[in-house]
Chains A and B, each alone.
Chain A
Amino acid sequence: MQAFMTLRIALRALARNKLRAFLTMLGIIIGVGAVIAMVAIGEGAKSTIRAQIAALGTNVLIVLPGSNVQGGVRAGFGNVNTLLDSDAKAMARELPSVAFVSPVLRRQDQVVAGNLNWGTWAQGVAPEFQQIRDWQVAEGRFLHEGDMDSAAKVAVIGQTVARQLFGNDDALDAVIRIRNIPFRVVGILGAKGQTGQGTDQDDTIMIPYTTMQKRLMRITWVQSIVVKAVSAERVEEAEEQITLLLRQRHRIGPEREDDFNVRNLSDIAEAATTTARVMAVLLGSVASISLLVGGIGIMNIMLVSVTERTREIGIRMAVGARSRDIMLQFLVEAVVMAATGGLIGILLGVGSSEVIKQWAQWPTLIDPAIIAIAFLFSGAVGVFFGFYPAKKAANLDPIDALRYE
């Protein structure tokens, strides 16, 4: 029997029991829909985390001063003043695995422009900070080496600060005051948005780190040093080299603890993506179970259908249908149900992940491969769960089948 004819017979048989066919398909529809939506949510979370980590700057290491021990009290990291800008310069000069280095000093300050003021984080950084954190400059320029040498009173401001202090007015070349010291705005940063923790990255002001040291904080050390390795593969190498270099520069003996701490952001990135992947697998497998339940529903209904249509099977056999014709007929019916359910499920899954994205503001990401897999899998469910009922139909004895009431 031709394939087309078999398909037509199957469609006809399903059309006779539309509600039943639909209810049977519902299991697959919900299963496939759930798989797609859940995987989309999981993938969305994964890519968001990846993007957030990329926004922090990829291949980035952070060097913090070690903890201070005084009379048995161990303060947290960053409480001692052992890190110097000369350490940063030495790293850039001596370590081949390091691409960019910048000292960082941060403090919260009230910034005033005209009759407006705004509390924000001021960061003292080097020009390399731009490459390390992947900052774009929307207007003007970033800080340059000359600003460092002269401890120039210039600032580059983030979008949020620009909006708060200047509204729609042009902020470039305007003067802002931090602790009554006037700074000229030489650049406005491009927008970066929020971090994963909800911190507004655009709510910041960057000034030369030398200016921060001498004019605002009156200190000689630096709070931290950020380092960008030349490539992702060489992050660990950079970490080791930095440790060696700093131990040497700080004259730390072999038995003593480091007075600094090197943090690797790619470890955090890896942990975060692993978490997201576990979540995606978990959601996906829960959804797969509903697909399995849908398959069992198909098998159930196909068994009922075979029993109901025993006489039809007998008639078909009497007029010349072979076992494999009967088998194929029921198998195609099951596969048509499963595949149609799969298609509707895909639409449902894509639709609901779109709704989740729009209304719940939850990032979702649909991988075309998942759609293909879901469709093939639903077809496979049809074959798998349709096989036994079809086999049962094909193995009927025509005499018994014809006599069946």
Chain B
Amino acid sequence: MSELIRVEDVHKTYRMGDVEVPALRGINLTIEHGEFVAVMGSSGSGTSTLMNILGCLDRPNTGKYFLEGHEVGSLKPDQWAYIRNKRIGFVFQGFNLLSRTTALENVELPMMYNGFAGQERHQRAIEVLSLVGLDKRLDHTPNQLSGGQQQRVAIARALVNRPSLILADEPTGNLDSATSNEIMALFQHLNTGQGITIILVTHEADIAAYARRQIIFRDGLVISDRVSEQVIAKMEH
């Protein structure tokens, strides 16, 4: 397996008025292509900050971030937008779908920013929506879909530009446990079946148990990084 992400001595401090709040205090991390990583930590431990930096939404104060061998931490905003569009898919806790917009159009959204023609855009959106099992719900708007279905639309949107990396920030945080398991099974399927690298942040150990590698954060530092032998068996999808 080749290296996808390398983070070298990343520090990030937020300034809240006069107080400086350290969020990351020297993170070193390497993630290979095809890994399924769960990042755990209580709120304020720096997991969200790490996700923002990995997702090219935020810059480290010091340290370097390499994505597929290129230093991306210091690129310009437009280049970041390009990376977010082409290389990374985001899945959020609150789904973050455009309201009053159909599932199909939500999934087409990322392709509007890289010049896909209407026909191909349509085709690919339908393709990924059937991959997440929503090919019967193309014309439904978010408020006509259940939480689990909305998250599937969000996952389809993350997949549509065929990224090598999916960043999921507490993707099951708003879902009940049965639906959470379905979503996690979908991630597992995408990881093993499509070879997509997945990094997900969670508070819950049973969700983290779906991932082979588990990294635990505390106070802006990695305190544990282990690969478990026993992964929850992939549920039939």
Contact = CB atoms under 8 A, between A and B. Distances in A.
A316 B109 contact: yes
Interface stretch (A221-229, A321-329, A384-392): A321-329
Interface string A53-73: 000000000000000000000
A2 B82 CA distance: 16
A320 B78 contact: no
B58 interface: yes
Interface in A50-105: none
B57 A320 contact: no
B52 A319 contact: no
A321 B57 contact: no
Interface stretch (B63-71, B110-118, B176-184): B110-118
Given A320-B84, A320-B85, A399-B52, A315 B77 contact: no
Contact of B85 (A16, A315, A319): A319
A7 B90 CA distance: 26
Nearest to A318: B90
A16 B105 CA distance: 15
A1 B110 CA distance: 11
Contacts of A342: none
A5 interface: yes
A402 B58 contact: no
Most B CB contacts (10 A, CB to CB) among A5, A319, A402 go to A319
A318 B90 CA distance: 7
Interface residues of A, number: 22
B84 A402 contact: no
B213 interface: no
A318 B57 contact: yes
B52 A315 contact: no
Contacts of A9: 112
A319 B77 contact: no
Interface in A306-322: 311-312, 314-322
Given A321-B81, A322-B77, A323-B77, A399 B57 contact: yes
Contact of B110 (A16, A312, A319, A402): A319
A299 B113 CA distance: 26
A398 interface: yes
B58 A399 contact: yes
Interface in B29-59: 52, 55, 57-58
Contacts of A322: 77-78, 81-82, 113
Contacts of A324: 78
Contacts, number: 57
B98 to A, nearest CB: 6
A319 B109 contact: yes
B92 interface: yes
Nearest to B55: A318
Given A325-B113, A399-B52, A319 B90 contact: yes
A284 B97 CA distance: 47
A320 B110 contact: yes
B96 A315 contact: yes
A307 to B, nearest CB: 16
A320 B109 CA distance: 9
Contacts of A2: 115
Contact of A320 (B58, B82, B92, B97): B82
A402 B92 contact: yes
Interface string A392-403: 000000110010
Contacts of A16: 100
A112 B223 CA distance: 123
Interface string A282-317: 000000000000000000000000000001101111
Nearest to A320: B85
Interface string B175-195: 000000000000000000000
A325 B57 CA distance: 17
Contacts of A321: 81, 113
A1 B113 CA distance: 5
B124 interface: no
B188 to A, nearest CB: 24
Contact of B96 (A314, A320, A325, A399): A314
Contacts of B11: none
A315 B113 CA distance: 12
Contacts of B58: 399
Nearest to B117: A2
A16 B112 CA distance: 20
Given A16-B100, A323-B77, A398-B57, A318 B113 contact: no
A2 B97 CA distance: 22
Contacts of A319: 84-85, 90, 109-110, 113, 157
Most A CB contacts (10 A, CB to CB) among B52, B81, B97 go to B81
Contacts of A325: 113
Given A319-B90, A320-B81, A323-B78, A1 B96 contact: no
A134 to B, nearest CB: 65
Given A2-B115, A321-B113, A398-B57, 12 more contacts: A9-B112, A311-B96, A316-B109, A319-B84, A319-B109, A320-B81, A320-B84, A320-B113, A320-B161, A322-B82, A324-B78, A402-B96
17 contacts: A1-B113, A1-B115, A312-B98, A315-B96, A316-B113, A319-B84, A319-B90, A319-B109, A320-B82, A320-B84, A320-B86, A321-B81, A322-B77, A322-B113, A323-B78, A323-B81, A399-B58
Interface of A: 1-2, 5, 9, 16, 311-312, 314-325, 398-399, 402
